[in-house]
Amino acid sequence: MDDSVNIRVRVPVDLKERLDSLARTTKRSQSELTADALRHLVDQDDNEIDHIRRALEESHKPETRLVPHKQAMTWIRSRGTATPLPKPRGRRRAHP
């Protein structure tokens, strides 16, 4: 017994044309290609969410050093320029 289900998705015409072309070129069905693409996207999102969850847990440890967003972005923007800033050291989180 097949454990798959049908779903309907509206996509722009150009994307549908690209999917048609890819299906012909790879000799795979549009359904297979779409399922693989969705699986890849969901796996990627799951990994990103897990990474964020771990980072948030880490940020609550007393020994963790945090860099304020504005300071981090200033450093990132300076990279690759003639005058890059030193990597920010961060500060310990104030815990109650």
> Does the structure show a pLDDT above 80 at 94?
no
The dihedral through the CA atoms of 42, 45, 51, 53 has a sign that is negative
pLDDT in tens, 7-42: 999 999 999 999 999 999 999 999 999 999 999 999
Name the burial class of residue 23, with classes exposed (0-12), middle (13-18) and buried (19+) by CB atoms within 10 angstroms of its CB: middle
pLDDT value, residue 1: 59
Work out the pLDDT band at 95, boundaries 50, 70, 90: low
The set of residues, in sequence order, having a beta carbon less than 8 Å from that of 33 and lying 6+ positions away, is 19, 22, 23, 26
pTM given for the model: 0.65
